Chains A and B, each alone.
Chain A
Amino acid sequence: MNGAAALEVTHIAKRFGGLVALRDVSFTVRDGEVIGLIGPNGAGKSTLFEIVSGNLPPSAGRVAFFGRDCTADPPHVRRRAGLCRSFQKVRLFETMSVAENIAVAARQCLPPDKDWRGEVASILARMRLAAQADRLPSEITLADRKKVEIGRAIAGYCRVLMLDESLSGLTHDEAEELIGEILTLNRDTGITVIVVEHVLSVLAKMVKRLVVLHNATVIADGTPSEVAHDPVVIEAYLGTKASVLR
């Protein structure tokens, strides 16, 4: 982590008609950090995710990526700049093989002088998907589908990886394995990771910093321990300290 701001979210607001989905949300993610974005259902996590990745325009506020205002950039421009994401419900190209899924991003995001085939092979090896390379997404397990999606997200060029509930639906062992791979990725490549989850106990193992969203705004920002002891967070989750961490 070198301390430069990788992603700055400043005074973001989003309204859908009369519904306020996000209100004055601001936080900064440092280069190389692994942070968690947490909040109960309906807190605004997914809306924020869509705004940061460029799929939704904010009603107000600004998103900056390594100091450059990207609020008006379409999703593919942000992706090529290195702002990468996965989806809450895995979205793969179902008629393409695992290798082709990764190749799509590699061919878009790798500089023209780089070998995209080598990049695909390297991602397949990193995500332990080489044996599945020629299979269709419908022929592999959910855990592998999630790996393919992460592989596609980091292929070519990635500086910030945003994972939207990538651990949901996995068994304990599968989740542990995926967490290990994400942390290794962060350690080996320095990619900044933002993990969205709604269960704090899952994130507490992965991250050193948590941003908590509740009722469309940020209510806490700190280490997992600080967040777990924060009375506002405890109240938001309608429980005790113990139940928050469970």
Chain B
Amino acid sequence: MSRERRSLLAGIVLVAALALMPVAGVNDYFIAVAVRMLIFIALGQAWNVVAGIGGLLSLGHGVFLGLGCYATGILFNFYGLPPWLGVWVGALASLVIALVMGAMTLRMRGVFFALATIAVSLALDQLARHYVDLTGGDNGLALKFLGNSLWFMQSRRPGPFLYAALAFVVAYYWITRWILASRFGLEMRAVRDDEVAAAAAGVPVFRTKLLGLLVSAVMTSVAGSLYMQSYQAIDPETAFGLSQAIQLQLPALIGGLGTSWGPIVGGAVMILLSEGTNLGSTRLGIAGVDILVYGLLLLAVVMYAPKGIMGLFERRARGGS
């Protein structure tokens, strides 16, 4: 069986196993963990487009997560707009912010883009804290709960979100695969490897980087809307904070940057480890062990598997050196 078929089969088995969890009567806690895992995988897949395939280090991708969360939340709480529509407002806002940010920084070489993403994060963090009436300020914004409803995408139990998150991960997986196989993906990979050589091969470098950022921003924002519906609340630190920004990067970094399976494997490892250590730290009475584990995991990846878990598989497949 070819590698391609093996990975497709593994994907089908995984999706089927996760989809059967509510039907099989699995405890809601485990389903909620699966939802969290799938949402972070989707967010990681979105970051992977700009950073993994495109090589643009976005350190403030929480901006787009936050815009997705706040847009759907505010429009629902104040105007009764269902998230099915609010999600597109968040996506549009993310598109505009990404366009402005990209237009200002992507022609420059070096760290300017990364710094700009942090600056925009800090600015939106302050705005979210300042406009208390709209955003709930430091305390955050909690969604009004109107009861179980598909139209308002609300449920007391995590089961429905499992299916929604699963659909996101599958859709984002196919988007990633399409990008990698397309001319656009080839352009992004060329720009990531060497901008000067890419231009010399006819690639419009600025346009390619900007397009990559826009696609990733919209994907993050749309996944952010699902995050909002699932968690029912958002606050400035969760949306725009540094630790959240790091969490968005970890699935792709741990799993393998620029690959279609990387964020999936990395996100699963990250959340399962986090839940395991959380459980352990609660029993031991030591708070924050999961953060320590993240740090150590990242260190281990950088030192021993700079291309992530998928990079290790790739190395084995290519002959092992």
Interface on A for B, CB 8 Å cutoff?
Answer: 53-55, 74-76, 79-80, 84-85, 87, 91-96, 100, 103-105, 107-109, 152-153, 155-156
Q: Compute how far the CA of A79 lies from the CA of B203 in the bound complex, rounded to whole angstroms.
A: 9
Which one, B197, B199, B202, contacts A93 given CB within 8 A? B197
Within B145-202, which residues are at the interface with A (CB < 8 Å)?
A: 183, 186-187, 189-190, 192-194, 196-202
Inter-subunit contact A107/B186 (CB<8 Å): yes
Complex interface: chain B residues within 8 A of A95 (CB) = 189, 192-193, 258
Contacts across chains A and B counted by CB atoms under 8 Å: 75
Inter-subunit contact A93/B190 (CB<8 Å): yes
Give the total of B residues in contact with A, Cβ under 8 Å. 19
Inter-subunit contact B186/A76 (CB<8 Å): no
Minimum C-beta distance from A112 to chain B (A): 10
Inter-subunit contact A76/B202 (CB<8 Å): yes
Interface on B for A, CB 8 Å cutoff?
Answer: 183, 186-187, 189-190, 192-194, 196-205, 258
Inter-subunit contact B199/A108 (CB<8 Å): no
Which one, A76, A91, A105, contacts B205 given CB within 8 A? A76
Q: Compute how far the CA of A164 lies from the CA of B243 in the bound complex, rounded to whole angstroms.
A: 47
* Chain A, residue nearest B197 (CB): A91
Which one, B192, B194, B196, B201, contacts A108 given CB within 8 A? B201
Q: Compute how far the CA of A96 lies from the CA of B53 in the bound complex, rounded to whole angstroms.
A: 12
Complex interface: chain B residues within 8 A of A152 (CB) = 201
Q: Compute how far the CA of A156 lies from the CA of B183 in the bound complex, rounded to whole angstroms.
A: 14
Complex interface: chain A residues within 8 A of B200 (CB) = 53, 75-76, 79, 84-85, 87, 91, 153
* Chain B, residue nearest A93 (CB): B193
Inter-subunit contact A87/B199 (CB<8 Å): no
Complex interface: chain A residues within 8 A of B258 (CB) = 95
Which one, A55, A92, A105, contacts B202 given CB within 8 A? A105
Complex interface: chain B residues within 8 A of A94 (CB) = 193-194
For the complex with contacts A76-B203, A79-B201, 5 further pairs of A-B residues with Cβ separation under 8 Å are A75-B199, A85-B200, A95-B258, A108-B201, A153-B201
* Chain B, residue nearest A136 (CB): B318
Complex interface: chain A residues within 8 A of B189 (CB) = 93, 95-96, 100
* Chain A, residue nearest B184 (CB): A107
Sort A-B residue pairs by CB-CB distance and give the 7 closest, nearest first: A108-B202, A93-B193, A75-B199, A105-B201, A91-B197, A79-B202, A109-B202
Minimum C-beta distance from A52 to chain B (A): 12
Minimum C-beta distance from A201 to chain B (A): 28
Minimum C-beta distance from B24 to chain A (A): 41
Inter-subunit contact A107/B199 (CB<8 Å): no
Minimum C-beta distance from A159 to chain B (A): 13
* Chain A, residue nearest B319 (CB): A139
Minimum C-beta distance from B298 to chain A (A): 21
Complex interface: chain B residues within 8 A of A156 (CB) = 202
Inter-subunit contact B199/A104 (CB<8 Å): no
Complex interface: chain B residues within 8 A of A74 (CB) = 199, 204
Complex interface: chain B residues within 8 A of A53 (CB) = 200
Q: Compute how far the CA of A239 lies from the CA of B56 in the bound complex, rounded to whole angstroms.
A: 50
Minimum C-beta distance from B320 to chain A (A): 13
Minimum C-beta distance from B196 to chain A (A): 6
Q: Compute how far the CA of A93 lies from the CA of B185 in the bound complex, rounded to whole angstroms.
A: 13
Inter-subunit contact B190/A80 (CB<8 Å): no
Inter-subunit contact B196/A91 (CB<8 Å): yes
Mind listing 6 A-B residue pairs with CB under 8 Å? A87-B196, A87-B197, A92-B197, A104-B202, A104-B203, A107-B186
Complex interface: chain B residues within 8 A of A84 (CB) = 200
Q: Which of B192, B197, B201, B204 has the most CB of A within 10 A?
A: B201
Inter-subunit contact B183/A93 (CB<8 Å): no
Inter-subunit contact A104/B186 (CB<8 Å): yes
Complex interface: chain A residues within 8 A of B202 (CB) = 76, 79-80, 104-105, 108-109, 156
Minimum C-beta distance from B284 to chain A (A): 42
Inter-subunit contact A104/B198 (CB<8 Å): yes
Minimum C-beta distance from B198 to chain A (A): 7
Minimum C-beta distance from A24 to chain B (A): 27
Complex interface: chain B residues within 8 A of A54 (CB) = 199
Q: Compute how far the CA of A84 lies from the CA of B187 in the bound complex, rounded to whole angstroms.
A: 17
Minimum C-beta distance from A219 to chain B (A): 29
Which one, A87, A92, A100, A153, contacts B186 given CB within 8 A? A100
Complex interface: chain A residues within 8 A of B203 (CB) = 76, 104, 108
Q: Compute how far the CA of A198 lies from the CA of B73 in the bound complex, rounded to whole angstroms.
A: 66
Q: Which of B197, B200, B204, B258 has the most CB of A within 10 A?
A: B200
